[in-house]
Structure formats: C-alpha cells, structure tokens
C-alpha cells in the first residue's frame, strides 16, 4: 500500500515516501515521510498502532513523519513497544528525534541492520539489502519460505493410504506405512516444493549490485525512479536512479513486476512509466493510495489496484482534489491514457495554475 510516492518534496498529489506492507495480520511500515500518519488516517487501514517501522535511511523525506506519529501514539495512551529498524546511525537519529517527541507512554526499541542481516519471521525472512545512496542506507527484501509441494490425493489413495492422519504425516515429509504394509514416501505423493513470494524495496539508490542480487526472480521490485532520462546526470549526482536504469535492473533480475516510486516533483508518473516500459514492459508507477496485490506465484502475477487503499468515504471526496497541477503541466501527465487518475479526479479540475509541478530542480 503506497502512502507516499514523492521524492524529496511532497506535491499536491504525492506525499513523501511511506509504504505499508500487509501480510496476513502483519502491518510493516517502510519509511515514514512527513504526513504519513495523516495518509494512514485517510487510508482504509486507518492510523493503526504499528508494532514495527523500517527505515531505509535517514534523509528528512523518509523520517520526518516518525516523531509526529510516535507522539500521536503516546497521546492515545499506547503501551505496546514500538520497534524501529534502520541502517547504522539509527541511534544517532533518535538522539535528535527524542527532543521532538518527548516523553512517551510506551517503550521503543531501536535495531540497526547492516546489509546481509536477516530477521527471521513466521514464514519469511526480512533481509537488509546493500544499496548505493552515498549515506547510511539499506533496502529490504521480504523472502517467504518455500512451501511443500501440492499433495496428490489420488496418488496417495492409489498407494493404499487412507485419508486422515497418514495424509498429514506425508505432508509433513514423513514416511508412512499403509494398512497393507507398504511404505509410502512423501516424494511419491508431493509435487515439487513451491517457492514463496519475494518482494524487494530499495529505498533511495543508484542501480546497485546488491539490489540486483536480492531481486533475482522477485515478484515485485519497488525501486527508486526519482528522475527521467534527461536528468540522468542529476540522478548520478544525487545517488538516485532514473526510470530507465531501474527498468534495466529489473530486466536483468527477471522480476515479475517493477514498481517505480520516489518521483521528483517535476514528473507526473506517465512519462516515468513510458521510459521504463520501453525497457521493461511490466512496470507500474503507483500514486498515493494505490495498492499492489501480490498473490502466491501459482495464483497469478502481482496486480496494481488503483486507489485500492482509499477509505470508502474518502473516495467520493477526492473528486477534484489535487488536480490543480495535473492537466495544465508542461508534461501533460495527468491526462495520459496509460495512467487514468484515481476516482475520476479529472472531473471538476480547477484551472491548473496552482501547483506548478516544475519545482526548483
Ligand atoms: Zn528520498
Ligand atoms: Zn535519500
């Protein structure tokens, strides 16, 4: 769930970086740009009491939302521990943030991660990935455990195994003895092990070998695409990636879907998508409140759900909101047929003067 898809500075349509990853009942927040708590309030999830926040690095656009959110949790009287993960330097960051959020009603725990460090979870590992942002920075790879192969009921029955506890034993990988005395081994009734899902989030980065490695065969790669082609030099200078560079890496890694984010305020999205798709067609450029659904690999590919995270009541209310910079901009991004605006927000668009999209870059 994309809560913020802008790079460096917010725009009328895009908030600074924040991404909520939901897996079963878990909710993991990656980066916490300014205003993230309000983005969450506007979303269908609401401002839930997160247990964990993962920072990719400490630039202001990725962290400014954290002290405010932590303060809000305290004002609500939270008592559960909050764990914040990040690259080396996290303790130092909190040395400064502490002065902002002051006394809290709950404890927090800081965990510094270096590239290669792994958090072992129920059903997956979360791995810190080496990136290249010329500051203390990491990406994250969520890698699910392999799942046992499909259980072939017909084969088991044909081998004389009755349904019941023996089926369970076979599924757990144990040999069983059928009532007729035959030994049946799991590989006789189980298909090949099925891989889990793999999702990689880069945070801010140049194209990086560590990301390429982590992203091999990934279902989804969420990559920095701050700039387009004509600002390739600037991308290099500021340790970001262009859409094309991210697409080249996605192609080399063989990911199923490339998701571009952290757009500079002079881009609307469609032009970034076009440049990337010329290299890697399976590319999307989500807007705030878009969702990417990532089903188990055998159930199909990842899918972009536009506006999927908008709370229902908000959906109607967004008509017209934020369209000021859209249609009239120099790049005409808002009107691109590739990328229809969420919630029909072209309707009632004001005349387009207000939020000039071409910032100081
Ligand atoms: Zn950034
Ligand atoms: Zn940065």
Spell out the domain ranges in the chain: 2-147+194-344, 153-188
Output the pTM of the full model: 0.82
- In CATH terms, is domain 2-147+194-344 a member of 1.20.210.10? no
Per-residue pLDDT of 14-45, as tens digits, reads: 999 999 999 999 999 999 999 999 999 999 99
pLDDT at 293 over 50: yes
Distance from the CA of 224 to the center of ligand 1, in angstroms?
9
Cα 140 to Cα 125: distance, rounded to the nearest angstrom: 10
Residue 61 annotated as catalytic = yes
Distance from the CA of 165 to the center of ligand 1, in angstroms?
53
Distance from the CA of 60 to the center of ligand 1, in angstroms?
8
Q: Please name the residues in contact with 130: beta carbons below 8 A apart, sequence gap of 6 or more.
A: 115, 116, 138, 139, 208, 209, 210, 211
Alpha helices in the chain (DSSP H): 36-42, 60-63, 65-75, 90-101, 153-158, 165-171, 209-215, 232-237, 243-253, 270-277, 312-317
pLDDT at 139 over 70: yes
Neighbours of ion ligand 2 (CB under 5 A): 59, 204
Distance from the CA of 233 to the center of ligand 1, in angstroms?
17
Per-residue pLDDT of 215-265, as tens digits, reads: 999 999 999 999 999 999 999 999 999 999 999 999 999 999 999 999 999
Top pLDDT among 298 and 3 is at 3
| pLDDT score at 149 | 87
Among all ligands shown, which has an atom nearest to the Cα of 16? 1
Catalytic residue of the set 31, 61, 132, 224: 61
């Amino acid at each position: 769930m994309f809560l913020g898809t802008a790079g460096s500075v917010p725009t009328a349509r895009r908030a600074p970086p924040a991404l909520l990853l939901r897996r079963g009942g878990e909710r993991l927040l990656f980066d916490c740009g300014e205003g993230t708590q309000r983005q969450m309030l506007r979303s269908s999830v609401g401002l839930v009491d997160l247990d964990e926040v993962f920072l990719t690095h400490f630039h202001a656009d990725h962290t400014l939302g954290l002290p405010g959110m932590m303060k809000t949790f305290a004002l609500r009287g939270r008592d559960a521990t909050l764990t914040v993960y990040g690259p080396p330097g996290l303790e130092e960051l909190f040395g400064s943030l502490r002065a902002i959020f002051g006394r809290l009603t709950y404890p927090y725990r800081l965990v510094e991660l270096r590239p290669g460090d792994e958090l072992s979870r129920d059903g997956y590992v979360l791995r810190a990935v080496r990136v290249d942002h010329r500051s203390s920075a990491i990406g994250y790879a969520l890698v699910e455990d392999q799942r046992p192969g499909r259980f072939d009921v017909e084969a088991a029955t044909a081998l004389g195994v009755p349904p019941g506890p023996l089926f369970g034993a076979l599924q757990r990988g144990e040999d069983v003895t059928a009532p007729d005395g035959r030994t049946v081994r799991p590989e006789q009734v189980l298909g090949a092990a099925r891989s889990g899902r793999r999702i990689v989030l880069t945070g801010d980065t140049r194209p990086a070998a560590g990301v390429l490695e982590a992203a091999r065969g990934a279902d989804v790669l969420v990559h920095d695409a701050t700039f387009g082609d004509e600002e390739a030099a600037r991308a290099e200078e500021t340790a970001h990636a262009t859409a094309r560079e991210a697409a080249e890496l996605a192609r080399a890694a063989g990911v199923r879907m490339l998701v571009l984010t952290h757009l500079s305020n002079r881009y609307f999205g469609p032009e970034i998508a076009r440049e990337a798709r010329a290299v890697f067609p399976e590319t999307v450029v989500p807007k705030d409140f878009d969702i990417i659904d990532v089903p188990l690999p055998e159930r199909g590919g990842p899918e972009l759900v536009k506006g999927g995270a908008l709370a229902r009541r908000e959906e109607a209310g967004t008509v017209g909101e934020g369209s000021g910079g859209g249609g009239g901009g120099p790049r005409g991004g808002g009107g691109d047929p590739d990328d229809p605006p969420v919630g029909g927000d072209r309707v009632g668009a004001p005349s387009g003067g207000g939020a000039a999209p071409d910032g100081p870059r």
